[in-house]
Amino acid sequence: MPSVTLSTKIAADPDRLWQAIGGFAAIADWHPAIQKAELQGEDGRRGTIRTLHLGGGGKIVERLEEASPSERVYSYSILEGPLPLEHYRAEIRVVDNGDGTSTVTWSSRFEPAGVTENEAVKLVRDIYEAGLENLRRLYGGK
């Protein structure tokens, strides 16, 4: 099963950064491809559904699988959407670097659906890079 893991250092306190990005709908505030996120269920509760409305008019429906605000991490899976992926499960984590900065790591495992493994990996990497680049722009990155 292919996987992608990308990390970036952010010049922000981890608790402050988690407050900004740790909510399940907060991705719409920092990922440039997402215009709006709607939740069905309680934010932070396992099983909550989020619908991401994309800039190009499509949408992705995801389910919160696990969340631990004290550890600054949540995982989710894709239920439906336009991406050529199956069995997609991802995690977003914020780690304290101990010097007033944080490291954000976005990782996933998935199966390609109708595309090659290399194409699927590139697609996911491009999505993650766009989001992490925007976090660096918003909060200061290294």
pTM reported for the whole predicted model: 0.94
Confidence band for 142, pLDDT divided at 50, 70 and 90:
low
> What is residue 18's three-state secondary structure?
helix
Q: Is the pLDDT of residue 73 over 80?
A: yes
In sequence order, the β-bridge partners of residue 108 are 4, 90
Q: How far apart are CA 9 and CA 12, in angstroms?
A: 9
Between CA 57 and CA 82 the distance in angstroms is 11
Q: Is the pLDDT of residue 60 over 90?
A: yes
What domains lie within the chain, and their CATH numbers? 3-139 (3.30.530.20)
Do 21 and 135 form a contact (C-beta atoms < 8 A)? yes
**Mean per-residue pLDDT for 123-137?**
97
Instruction: Please give the share of the chain, as a percent, with pLDDT higher than 70.
Output: 99
Give 40: exposed, middle or buried? Use CB within 10 Å, 0-12, 13-18, 19+.
exposed
Q: What is the pLDDT of residues 104-114, one digit of tens each?
A: 999 999 999 99
